[in-house]
Every structure is written in C-alpha cells, then in structure tokens.
C-alpha cells in the first residue's frame, strides 16, 4: 500500500481592497477580484490533489478572508489556525514558528504576505519568480524528520498556481 504524498502549499493572500483609507493595513479586506481568485486557487488545489487539510494563516483580515474562501471550495479543509506571527513575517520568522511544531502528517498550507512569502518561495524552489497576490507554490515532501522539517531540502517544488493564467 502506497502512502499519500504530503504537500506543503505556500500561498500569498488574495488581492485586498484599498478603498477605505480609515482601515489599518491589518484590517484591509479582500476586494472582488481577490475573492474570486481565492476560490479559483482553492478549486485548482482540489482538482490537482494538493488541497490542504490544515491552513496556518496570518491573522490579518485579508488572509483570514482568503482562508475562508479557500475552505468554501476545498472539501475537508476545515482546520484554519491563525498565527499573528505570520503577519508580515520574514522567512526566518516562519522558520522559527515551524521549528516549534511537529512535522505535518497531512497537507499543510502556510498563508501569509509578501515580501516574506515571495522570499520563502524563492528559497524553497530556487526560482526567482514574481509571487503576486493569490499565488500558491506547491511542494511535495521527500522525507520529513520529526524536527526541523521546514527546510528546503525536505521538499520538492512541484507546481506554481497563479490566478491570472488560470482564469
């Protein structure tokens, strides 16, 4: 019997609205394009077999809304854990958070913000590619140790989902 592969998805939040100048950066919601893009990416993740079982997410409004749009279209992705440390986190911040947690045993999504998520994508994939809103990079686990599992050499880059070409 073959075990199911474990996928790690690094996703940047979908496009946010700048229409209300009274809101702080942390409070900005998604705009219509962002809501549609999040659902599109969620559908593609499901169809391609990468759907996350668990989403670790920044606590900013636009990332929370992105997560909610994703789980509307991804069967089984019902666990969303919000982490304020993911709000504008650097790659080192994300490494620190993940180092304190056990290796995933099911598909995991980390949902956050640029520039940190774009830098993580480049670090893990070794591709220097733009990481626009709603971009989602997918990595397959090679062999995960119990600790220090969030390291590029434990993951193989398999896909980059960008909303504009998929629409």
Query: What confidence score (pLDDT) does residue 147 get?
Result: 81
Query: What confidence score (pLDDT) does residue 167 get?
Result: 60
Class at the top of the CATH hierarchy for domain 7-16+29-166: alpha beta
In this prediction, the residues of the chain whose per-residue pLDDT falls under 70 are 1-2, 77, 167
Query: What confidence score (pLDDT) does residue 3 get?
Result: 77
> What are the residues whose beta carbons fall under 8 Å from the beta carbon of 144, sequence distance 6 or more?
6, 103, 104, 154
**Peptide bond preceding 115 in cis form (omega within 30 of 0):** yes
| Rounded Cα–Cα distance for residues 25 and 2 (Å) | 45
Query: What confidence score (pLDDT) does residue 78 get?
Result: 73
Cβ atoms of residues 59 and 88 within 8 Å: no
- Residue carrying structure tokens 């209300």: 20
Domains of the chain, residue spans: 7-16+29-166
């Amino acid at each position: 019997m073959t075990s199911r592969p474990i996928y790690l998805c690094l996703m940047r939040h979908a496009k946010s609205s700048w229409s209300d100048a009274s809101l702080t950066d942390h409070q900005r919601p998604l705009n219509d394009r962002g809501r549609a893009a999040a659902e599109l990416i969620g559908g593609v993740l499901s169809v391609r077999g990468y759907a996350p079982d668990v989403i670790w997410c920044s606590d900013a409004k636009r990332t929370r809304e992105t997560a909610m749009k994703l789980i509307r279209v991804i069967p089984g992705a019902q666990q969303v854990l919000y982490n304020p440390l993911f709000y504008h986190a650097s790659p080192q911040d994300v490494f620190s958070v993940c180092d304190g947690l056990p290796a995933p045993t099911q598909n995991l999504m980390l949902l956050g913000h640029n520039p940190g998520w774009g830098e993580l994508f480049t670090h893990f994939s070794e591709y220097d590619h733009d990481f626009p809103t709603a971009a989602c990079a997918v990595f397959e686990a090679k062999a995960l140790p119990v600790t220090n599992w969030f390291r590029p050499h434990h993951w193989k880059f398999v896909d980059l989902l960008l909303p504009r070409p998929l629409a």
